Amino acid sequence: MNNKTKIVAVLGALAVGIGAFGAHGLKPHLDQSQLEAFKTASFYHFIHIIAMLIFLISGKADHKVINTSFWLFLIGIMLFSGSLYTLSTKHLYGWDIPNIGFITPIGGIVLLAGWINLLRYRQDLG
């Protein structure tokens, strides 16, 4: 199993676990706004893991463009979803993390860059 497969497997398992924890364990402790932010984080986490898995299954994961999008998606998940997970639950842990909200749009831009980067991909015709 290569490193990219391990990354996708771990992030996929985390997406399922974090999503289930949010839906069942955190639901009574989050207000509607926090719950929506958590759901958004989980949704974007999962969607990008599926894209990364498709890269691996396609056998093109080492292609320069696909590889770049893979790493952009990984960084984007960590920044976008990670910051939303943190922002929506920080009151439960007493965390006072000022100004962490600026990370979320940066993560979104990185995810967007991963998709836009795919426009550069040209599949071999031969």
* H-only helix segments in 31-102: 32-58, 64-76, 82-93
The pLDDT-based confidence of 49 (bands split at 50, 70, 90) is very high
* Residue 42: both structure tokens together: 């989980």
The pLDDT-based confidence of 124 (bands split at 50, 70, 90) is low
The pLDDT-based confidence of 126 (bands split at 50, 70, 90) is very low
The pLDDT tens digits of the residues spanning 88-121 come to 998 888 777 777 889 999 999 999 999 999 999 8
DSSP state of 80: I
Angstrom distances, CA of residue 109 to CA of 55, 63, 64: 20, 22, 20
φ, ψ at 125 (rounded to 5°): -95, -5
The pLDDT tens digits of the residues spanning 31-45 come to 999 999 999 999 999
The CA-based diameter of the chain, rounded to the nearest angstrom, is 58
Amino acid at 122: R
